[in-house]
Homo-oligomer: A and B are copies of this chain.
Amino acid sequence: MGILKGMRVVEGSAFVAIPLAGMTLAQMGADVIRFDRLEGGLDATRWPVTKDGRSLFWAGLNKGKRSIAIDMKHPRGREIITEIICAPGDDAGLFLTNLAVRGFLDYPTLSARRADLVMVSLLGDRHGRPAVDYTVNPSVGFPDATGPEGSTDPVAHVLPAWDCIAGNMAVTGLLAAERHRLRTSRGQLVEIALKDVAAAMLGNLGIIGEVAVNGVDRPKGGNALYGAYGQDFLCADGERVMVIGLTERQWHNLVKVTGTAEAMAALEAELGVSLAEEGQRWLHRARISAVLAPWFAARRVAEFADAFEAAGVTWSTFRSFARALREDPDFAPGEAALFTDLDQPGIGRYPVPGSPFGFSAAPREAPAPAPALGQHTEEILADVAGLPEGEIARLFDAGIVRGG
């Protein structure tokens, strides 16, 4: 049904980026096989966990994959993993990994088995040093620029943003290399380093130019939208809202709906600037916010929400994860919704997201649960590795593989 139906991808991974990449492909219809050690990968018990120690994290990032559990210290186990990665098929021979691949799992070894292998390898840094989202982020400077104006305490992000970005880039790298293979019959190794992803983004967003050309090290700006206007305000009901005046139209809508056009005009006259210019809104954001703050402080969200929607204001409330899940219809399960109430074996029934992609040529599929560790060991050994029944039984008996 999915847009990638027929593609087979093998994944040797742990944590966020590569599991996310494999899941993204699985949710587009690819057959994604994740292999793990007999005891499960490094992320088998990653928090959050249920009271029984089942990983909600693992369940979240491995939806719709098939799982094989195998002893990779055993030569026969390694041989079988190699066979699975290099198994024939025009739409197979695709391998995603963030494991430290040496020996049997490195590209020269694997490509000697299947010359047209496409292997995507995510590294910490380009030089082979370990790096994770939590170290890459402070090393490029974001925590120093995050948090209240005037504070000197660095604030790290909670979303593993670099992992999420790199995981999606791994998908891109795989699809681009597979496209190239289709035209040339040549496979290749695609390498991406988490640190490079972050360093490049610093350049892409203009931050390196700001430092190198303007000589400015961006200070903390609180929750303000950098470079134009966007600010958070406390309302009469204790709620906090974010309002945006990034484009001229957004700014106009915001001023109009709050009835502050006269006050803004007076401010423009006093300052001798036009607030229609985004840079002036940024430079004078404190004065603008002083005009808007009493407006919000005097009103409950319910008093202005409908007017904001009608006026096309770009805005949102701040809320915790639990409140978002409870209050926002976008998290509600239902037909044609992003979320489905799903039974995840060992965990229970809760709202689980499908793919955010809407492909008009393929129906939006409901999410599939994550497999139990080793749930598909037997069928993968038979169908993909092509092993006869007797040998599969012997592998189970010898403890080289395990089922789910």
Contact = CB atoms under 8 A, between A and B. Distances in A.
A169 interface: yes
A81 to B, nearest CB: 21
Task: Determine how many copies of this chain the complex contains.
Answer: 2
16 contacts: A42-B247, A47-B279, A47-B282, A49-B279, A125-B330, A135-B315, A139-B316, A139-B317, A154-B232, A154-B318, A160-B205, A164-B201, A169-B357, A186-B361, A190-B360, A217-B322
Contact of A192 (B158, B195, B356): B356
A50 B191 contact: no
Interface string A275-316: 000110010000000000000000000000000010011111
Interface string A333-371: 000001100001001101111111111111000000000
A348 B172 contact: no
A248 B72 CA distance: 18
Contacts of A362: 180
B135 A180 contact: no
Nearest to A329: B127
Given A48-B227, A223-B156, A324 B356 contact: no
Interface string A185-203: 0111111110111011111
B179 A126 contact: no
A182 interface: yes
Contact of A57 (B16, B206, B360): B206
A207 interface: yes
A386 to B, nearest CB: 25
A153 B158 contact: no
B139 A177 contact: no
A240 interface: yes
